[in-house]
Amino acid sequence: MSDERKTFTLDGQDVEFTEGQTILQAALASGTYVPSLCYHPEFRPHGSCKVCTVKVNGRTTASCTTPATAGDTVELATDDLKDLRKNLVQFLFTEGNHFCPSCEQSGNCQLQAVGYELGVVSGHYNPLFPSRPVDASHPDVLLELNRCILCELCVRASALVDRKHVFSLSGRGITKHLVVNAESGRLADTNLSVEDKAMSVCPVGVILRKRRGFRVPIGERTFDTHTASEIALAGARGPTEDGAP
């Protein structure tokens, strides 16, 4: 690696990066927040939620999967990109069943926090109200599929860290959904345990530990006291169980 300082411009400001960093990583390291949902600093980027979309030399791309390249012109906070990001989050809210007031993950939810950050006040589109089952078969874990945003973080964590392959995505397009790797399709028939990494990476309220839901009261949780950008820039990804970032 040469000693030469490598930079690209982000909304007109020079951003320094090291070889191998993505645009998103370089931006975060330089103190600029890039909204994202499927990105996690401990995992290879997935590039599916597209909330981190930027324009590189005029072309739209997911900043979590695009390597930073010297001399590139990157746009992040333009009005059209802000609108696009907002629309993507609104799509997620209207495709699933996201009823925050009755969700035990409310206040610790990345989708909610990014919504606040982007100024989302409604789903805007007509909600689909899909019919999705809840799997409560596991003694310690509740699987609430109504809230799944298909980020594949549990899939990645279960396969790469836990080496258990408990979760997978199945189907295409609007029928795509999270499935459990057991013949019965039930979580109880897997070897998932509460210590698994897959238990702690869900950005929404799908994979829930039973009997823990309201240990930290609503109003005192991570995104009640911090913004999504504060958490992302601190290098943390999401809430811990006690609500502290």
Partner 1 sequence: MSAARKKLRVATTSLAGCFGCHMSLLDIDERLVELLEYIELDASPLTDKKHVGPCDLGIVEGGLCNAENVHVLREFRKHCKILVAFGACAVNGGLPAQRNHLDIRDCLQTVYLTGLGVERGFIPNDPELPLPLAQVHPLHDVVKIDYFLPGCPPSAEAIWQFLTDLVAGRTPQLGHGLIHYD
Footprint of partner 1 (CB under 8 A) = 93, 97-103, 106-107, 112, 115-117, 119-124, 126-127, 129-132, 218, 227
Nearer to partner 1, 120 or 155 (CB): 120
Nearer to partner 1, 143 or 198 (CB): 143
Least distance to partner 1 from the beta carbon of 136, Å?
Answer: 16
Nearer to partner 1, 112 or 200 (CB): 112
Least distance to partner 1 from the beta carbon of 72, Å?
Answer: 31
Least distance to partner 1 from the beta carbon of 177, Å?
Answer: 14
DSSP per residue, the chain = --SSPPEEEETTEEEE--TT-BHHHHHHHTT-----SS--TTS-----S-TTEEEETTEEEETTTSBP-TT-EEE-S-HHHHHHHHHHHHHHHHHTT--GGG-TTTTS-HHHHHHHHHT--S--SPP------EE--SSSEEEEGGG-----HHHHIIIIIS----EEEESSGGG-EEEESSTT--GGGS---TTSGGGS--SSSSEEETT-TTSSPTTSSHHHHS-HHHHHHTT--S--TTS--
CA atoms within 13 A on the CB side of 145: 19
Nearer to partner 1, 8 or 223 (CB): 223
Least distance to partner 1 from the beta carbon of 116, Å?
Answer: 5
Nearer to partner 1, 106 or 190 (CB): 106
Nearer to partner 1, 46 or 221 (CB): 221
